[in-house]
Chain A
Amino acid sequence: MRGTPPTVPPEAVNVGRDLGALPVETIESKGGWQPVNFAELWRYRELLFFFAWRDIKVRYKQTELGAAWAILQPLATTGVFVLLFQMLMGSGKEPTTPGVPYALSTFCGTVVWQLFADGVSRSGESLLGGTHLITKVYFPRVFLPLSSILTCLVDFAVAFAALLVMMVCFGRAPAWTIVAFPLFALFAAAAALSIGLWLSALSAMYRDFRYVQPFVIRIGMFVSPVVYATAGISDALPPWAMFLYGLNPMAGAIEGARWALFGESALPGLVLIPSALATALLLVGGMFFFRRMEQTIADVI
């Protein structure tokens, strides 16, 4: 620099650094369908938690009630439907999980649904919200929708604690199957991610899809067993129709969660299997689609 010849041999500058071991990275124009690069995701893993950590910090700083919102929303929804169904159908005749008070069954449904709904809306918006990051720095873009889901899991944990308190109030002990509950929470989170991946990628390219997301959540709440239980409709529908109903990922997630928590009925296989299949399909498809879109996103967003 500045004309002074380097007095130190270049090798000496890099002492302690194994020159041969430096990773070589190739940047190419190749596009198209590619599998998820898990090795890279692992390398960047710390950043994923930084994203989630930042989102949670910001959200809790901006709201006065903070974590209370995670409880208030499902609580209010449950309250409204308890009153509604009591008036419409009379006390004790609400569409509940057999052997479980309606309020409890519905609160469980709304808590799991909330995880999905928040996950879809936050991850669906995540790429658009991260435009300034996407155009300025590289990181695996999937971290944006993924970290949104992680922050929803924090809210979910708070709401779940409230659910347990409510069970105590109703004088019920959780069934031993509760050990499987986290599995169904992950099921709901995976369902949210699978749809969030598609929506975030599509809405980064076409803003039309921003309007799809509230629609999915509004309609989804009624075609999923949130404020009712599948027990009420399974008698009225033939098995093939139940299978179709089960293709909604949240049908399996919510009914599975109820089974794990209350342990009143048998595992609802007819709903669970198609739900799991649909989620897996959506998720794998979403990952591929996201990877493909990831390559051009900085140019089109």
Chain B
Amino acid sequence: MLSDAAIRTENLGKQYRLGEFDPRKTFRESLRHWVAAPVRRVFSPGKAASARRPRPSGSKNETIWALRDVSLEVARGEVLGIIGRNGAGKTTLLKILAKITRPTTGRAELCGRLGSLLEVGTGFHPELTGRENVFFNGAILGMTRAEIRRKFDEIVAFSGVEKFLDTPIKRYSSGMSVRLAFSVAAHLEPEILVVDEVLAVGDAEFQKRCLGKMEHVARGGRTVLFVSHNMAAQQELCSRVIWLEDGSIRTDGPAQGVVMEYLSTVSKNQELRVWEDVEEAPGSDVARLCRACVRLQDGVAGDAITIRTPFVLEFDVLNLKADAHLHLSVVLMNSRREIVFAALSCSEPGWEDRRFPGGLCRYTCHVPGDLLNEGLHHVRLVVAKDKEKSADFPDILCFEVFDDPQTRGGWSGIWPGAVRPRLHWTAEFLSRSTPPLS
């Protein structure tokens, strides 16, 4: 571990105003504010100080903390990954460190020159040639003219657009200009580099080369802050990852662990849900749901369900009323929120009047294979007592049904339909003669 830090932040926070920015309205407001200020000061000197705060009325509801109390230390030479959902404050943090925007609270100390790469091709102008854009883009990213000259050939070689250097980039394909832009960025050599989700562009082969270049940069002893939704890249490049949530650091630790934790939380799949404490378990005064699970017929939750495999939906329901006519209804929806099917436990032969004793009971719904189409599926569960709805759990489970290539018969496109049953086909010959058609 290096002894001295390249980046140190203390209670960094950023507050934004919400809502549509209406310049005309705010101009009028500001004008009224300025005009009224001396009047206010004369008539209520005590309030003058508070009146100077911008727009005190209702401002509480109009602001949001994009970043709050972020204290962080990044050692020199460390590659720090930043993950989190959209709007978690990742870009805001980078923008503050890159001096694009000012923090509302706190401070940050940077040791060394900082280069920022929040976008590929910042300042690219369609009328300028590739060569000219390399120079301007390099300059705006913080390279000196001498530096760009020195690296020019390398940049061009990396991008692979040598032939079109003197063509205006408005004639480039989007892929070509992205390559050129990334090549410039990849040759930045500041002591600290902040990178925001730039690998999302470009083709796979080029992305791979970019990752390689980034790794090279990281090994060169530079400090890198790297925002990406690409978890594989995060694990590959970063030694340490912070997970931002609602503007604050939720977890900070070794890449592997944080990424795994993040994935398990963010993943849309909800294949198993357990409420250990009955008091906490959701439900009504009639019944509580203690566990819900979707699993392969002979497997556990988490095993991949394919379109061919039969699976079961399990619900552990705590019946609080003895001898109740307590039945479940399951509604299965696909990712487009179309109902694929609805199933009632009381439609099981002989269950129409079945009553259940008080206590915990596991209801299992068996779903055959060769029924569902591939994709994400949501399960809604309704608990009914005496055919009256008692508790409703929309989206209680969510799981992915995977495709099975062997069922496709050579067709590789999107398979339409809410269901994908394996139907039986027959063919019988009615006549063996083929009449000549004109």
Residue interface bits A272-301, CB-to-B below 8 A is 1, else 0: 000000000000000000000001101110
Asked if A208 is an interface residue, CB under 8 A from chain B, the answer is: yes
Query: Which chain A residues border B107 with CB–CB below 8 Å?
Result: 26-29
Could you say which of A54-62, A99-107, A214-222, A223-231 contacts chain B? A54-62
Asked if B154 is an interface residue, CB under 8 A from chain A, the answer is: no
Asked if B76 is an interface residue, CB under 8 A from chain A, the answer is: yes
Query: Complex formed: what's the CA distance from A27 to B220 in Å?
Result: 26
A1 touches B218 (CB 8 A): yes
Query: Which chain A residues border B101 with CB–CB below 8 Å?
Result: 298-299
Query: Complex formed: what's the CA distance from A206 to B27 in Å?
Result: 6
Query: Complex formed: what's the CA distance from A196 to B5 in Å?
Result: 41
| 8 Å CB contact of B77 from A13, A26, A62, A139 | A13
CB distance from A46 to the nearest CB of B (A): 6
Could you say which of B116-124, B340-348, B387-395 contacts chain A? B116-124
CB distance from A210 to the nearest CB of B (A): 10
B99 touches A27 (CB 8 A): yes
Residue interface bits B138-180, CB-to-A below 8 A is 1, else 0: 0111001100000000000000000000001000000000000
Residue interface bits A41-60, CB-to-B below 8 A is 1, else 0: 00000110010011001100
Asked if B357 is an interface residue, CB under 8 A from chain A, the answer is: no
Residue interface bits A258-280, CB-to-B below 8 A is 1, else 0: 00000000000000000000000
A132 touches B128 (CB 8 A): no
Query: Which chain B residues border A242 with CB–CB below 8 Å?
Result: none
Asked if A136 is an interface residue, CB under 8 A from chain B, the answer is: yes
| Also in contact, A22 and B191, with CB within 8 A (given A1-B237, A133-B123, A133-B140) | yes
Asked if A238 is an interface residue, CB under 8 A from chain B, the answer is: no
Asked if B349 is an interface residue, CB under 8 A from chain A, the answer is: no
| 8 Å CB contact of A54 from B26, B79, B136 | B136
| 8 Å CB contact of B118 from A26, A27, A136, A208 | A136
CB distance from A31 to the nearest CB of B (A): 7
Query: Which chain B residues border A57 with CB–CB below 8 Å?
Result: 127-128, 132
CB distance from B322 to the nearest CB of A (A): 58
Query: Complex formed: what's the CA distance from A89 to B236 in Å?
Result: 82
Residue interface bits A92-132, CB-to-B below 8 A is 1, else 0: 00000000000000000000000000000000000000001
CB distance from A275 to the nearest CB of B (A): 28
Number of A-B residue pairs, CB cutoff 8 Å, is 128
| Also in contact, A46 and B139, with CB within 8 A (given A27-B108, A136-B118) | yes
A137 touches B221 (CB 8 A): no
B100 touches A29 (CB 8 A): no
A29 touches B104 (CB 8 A): yes
Query: Complex formed: what's the CA distance from A116 to B116 in Å?
Result: 35
CB distance from B60 to the nearest CB of A (A): 18
| 8 Å CB contact of B111 from A24, A29, A207 | A24
| 8 Å CB contact of B136 from A24, A50, A296 | A50
Asked if B21 is an interface residue, CB under 8 A from chain A, the answer is: yes
B100 touches A10 (CB 8 A): no
Asked if B105 is an interface residue, CB under 8 A from chain A, the answer is: yes
B127 touches A58 (CB 8 A): yes
Query: Complex formed: what's the CA distance from A136 to B98 in Å?
Result: 9
Query: Complex formed: what's the CA distance from A142 to B135 in Å?
Result: 21
Asked if B380 is an interface residue, CB under 8 A from chain A, the answer is: no
| 8 Å CB contact of A138 from B98, B145, B191 | B98
Asked if A25 is an interface residue, CB under 8 A from chain B, the answer is: yes
Query: Which chain B residues border A24 with CB–CB below 8 Å?
Result: 109-111
| Also in contact, A132 and B122, with CB within 8 A (given A1-B215, A10-B77, A57-B132) | yes
Asked if A205 is an interface residue, CB under 8 A from chain B, the answer is: yes
Query: Which chain A residues border B136 with CB–CB below 8 Å?
Result: 50, 53-54
CB distance from B222 to the nearest CB of A (A): 9
A61 touches B127 (CB 8 A): yes
B23 touches A208 (CB 8 A): yes
Asked if A135 is an interface residue, CB under 8 A from chain B, the answer is: yes
B127 touches A205 (CB 8 A): no
The 9 A-B pairs of least Cβ separation, nearest first, read A13-B221, A206-B27, A138-B99, A50-B139, A27-B108, A22-B112, A136-B122, A25-B110, A298-B101
Pairs across A and B, CB under 8 Å, 10 listed = A27-B107, A29-B107, A53-B136, A54-B125, A133-B140, A138-B98, A138-B100, A206-B26, A207-B23, A299-B16
16 new A-B pairs (CB below 8 Å) besides A57-B128, A62-B127, A208-B24?
A: A10-B2, A25-B111, A27-B109, A46-B145, A50-B136, A53-B136, A54-B128, A61-B127, A133-B122, A136-B116, A136-B118, A136-B122, A137-B116, A137-B140, A138-B116, A205-B27
